[in-house]
Structure 1
Amino acid sequence: MWVCCFLAVGAEPLDNDDEKVAITPKRTLEWKDFKTVKVIQGKTSINALCLSTCDIEILKVIPKGNHVMLDVKAIVKHQNDLSLVTESFLSSNDSDTKSQVLHHENGHFLIAQIIGYRIVKEAQDYQFHPTNYKSQLNQIINRHFRSWKQMDQLYDLETTKPRNPSMQKKWDDYFKKELEKLKSAIR
């Protein structure tokens, strides 16, 4: 599941992290990062739901002749209060099943990180219009957020309907390679 975020424009970063993509938490998610509830979205068939946000902040506008370049930062956060796991799932399943589902939910968090990196990568190479750069950046963000939704849906479809360990492995490999590629492309 994904959550659309907003464009934050300001002179000061939202945190002191110098990274172009700040991720919270900087670790694999645990069940303690999810709110325990009786039911999710009124459906007993949903065991867990992972929600993250991706905020984009303009740190600096750099004039370059007839265009501007933007120094942007993505702030990707797992949302503990919006990420849910059912009491019945935690109480009635063995540790292996709980571990598999948590592993899957971490994939949704990795997708959010990929989207943050993609936005920063595209923005760093884009020649923005000097007076229309906010609108242009919002178009980039919105396109990547649509991709986020599609990727989340495809990930669920291929790995959980029904549970498919070989597809989960393919996605795990994709997440690793894609994040490595994107991290190396950010300057």
Structure 2
Amino acid sequence: MTKALSLIVLFFVSNVYFCNAQEIMLNLTPQPEFINSSIYEIAEVHDTRPQSEKIGLVYREGNKMVNARFPNSLAHELQNYFSNSIQSRNPQLQKIIVKIEKYDLVENLNSNQIVEGELKIKFGFYAKGSFDPVHLLDFEGGMSYKRSKNRVDLIQNVIQQASENALKYFDQWINSQAMTNRSLANKVRLEVNQPILKSSSDTVFYNSKRGLGWQDFTAKPHAINKYNALIFTSLSMEGKPYVEDATIVLPLIIKVYMLPDQSWVKNKDDYSLNHEQRHFDVTKVVGDRLQYKLKKLDLNPENYEGLVNSAYLDAYREMSLLQKLYDSQTNHGRDASMQAKWNRYLDDALQGDWKNIETIISEKM
């Protein structure tokens, strides 16, 4: 977002001003309590202009042009101005970086020997974080003025007013955006759920009150496959973040499901159906564990996306590992003793007791 502002100013008042024959010294005067902020502070100012030491040349009597500058660097002067004009000292405030992209003072002499001048500025405002600064908006302003050659002191008013305009605009913007702008959020809240979803002929969602039936296995059996049945089961995680009261809210829904058109059976019996149901139970256990781990994450606006995605990928890998271990240890259900043991493990895990499941995982990690 860019703000462009252009003003024409005619000066007829005097100010205290310092100059010598070779240059004109400018200064920015902080305005105590000009901005009373409870949400941000200007933490850093960087001058990104190619020739950061230059401000511009201005006319003096005798049609002589001299250099206009500040006692210190422009970045230093603006940092001092911003810091002392904004009343905010809370360490929890949003830290803002200002990048000076343009700060050019240009003067010309018209036919009536009146100096016509213009100051052009452009500031980029960024939210400071642990990584790269996040761009918020640009302010691009301009102030045009006219003065007599002996009134070089009036340039000070232009410098002062332009800086105040930039700060005032940013303050208005950030206060209007603070509660809803994702870049300005200071907290993250996860809302993780596994709702009971309605199944269809295409997708059967896990429901503890609705066990699988052979009618859920609709794919054509693989004739050359040596196994009696196959189930396709998986889990997904969906959610779209939004900002509320300066907090990123991420509602996540974990879905555990099986796909009938990719699941098949040759010979239908209760023992085989239990084995396939337990594959579904494995996925449900992983979904429960994912929900638990997500709620334990220590999240902030900078890391939440990476940590949430990482938790999901870890869960997916865990699901794949457990499915393989389940089939290998039960010999795809042929080992009745191991099948009974896994039945007990999964019954416990579905009640929240993951001790045996975690032991199995740790032995293979």
**TM-score of the alignment, normalized to the shorter chain, above 0.5:** yes
How far residue 73 of structure 1 moved from its aligned partner, in angstroms, is 2.5
Letter aligned with residue 79 of structure 1: L
User: What secondary structure is seen at the aligned counterpart in 1 of 2:310?
Assistant: helix
Instruction: Provide the aligned C-alpha RMSD in A.
Output: 3.1
Note if 1:85 corresponds to 2:265. Answer: yes
1:127-182, Cα deviation, whole Å (9 max, x unpaired): 12313322221111111111111110111111125711111111111111111116
- Report 1:18-167 matches (<5 A): 20-22=193-195, 24-26=205-207, 27-39=210-222, 43-58=224-239, 70-86=250-266, 89-90=267-268, 98-160=269-331, 163-167=334-338
CA distance in 2, matches of 1:62, 1:158: 47
The structure-2 alpha-carbon separation of the partners of 1:176 and 1:70, relative to structure 1 and needing over 3 Å to count, comes to farther
Structure 2 residues without counterparts, runs of 5 or longer = 1-191, 197-204, 355-365
User: What secondary structure is seen at the aligned counterpart in 2 of 1:54?
Assistant: strand
**Cα contact 1:36–1:84 (8 A) shared by 2:** yes
**Cα contact 2:290–2:312 (8 A) shared by 1:** yes
How far residue 70 of structure 1 moved from its aligned partner, in angstroms, is 5.0
Letter aligned with residue 85 of structure 1: V
CA distance in 1, matches of 2:333, 2:278: 16
Report the more deviating stretch, 100-109 or 120-129: 120-129
Which protein, 1 or 2, shows the higher relative CO under an 8 Å CA cutoff with sep ≥ 6? 1
Letter aligned with residue 31 of structure 1: W
User: What secondary structure is seen at the aligned counterpart in 2 of 1:74?
Assistant: strand
User: What secondary structure is seen at the aligned counterpart in 2 of 1:128?
Assistant: coil
Larger Rg: 2
Note if 1:169 corresponds to 2:306. Answer: no
CA distance in 1, matches of 2:289, 2:253: 11
CA distance in 1, matches of 2:256, 2:332: 27
CA distance in 2, matches of 1:105, 1:150: 16
CA distance in 1, matches of 2:339, 2:333: 11
- What TM-score comes out, normalization by structure 2 length? 0.38
Count of aligned pairs between the two proteins = 154
The structure-2 alpha-carbon separation of the partners of 1:22 and 1:51, relative to structure 1 and needing over 3 Å to count, comes to farther
CA distance in 2, matches of 1:115, 1:104: 17
How far residue 62 of structure 1 moved from its aligned partner, in angstroms, is 8.3
CA distance in 2, matches of 1:109, 1:142: 19
CA distance in 1, matches of 2:300, 2:272: 45
Relative to its length, the structure with more strand (as a share) is: 2
The structure-2 alpha-carbon separation of the partners of 1:68 and 1:126, relative to structure 1 and needing over 3 Å to count, comes to farther
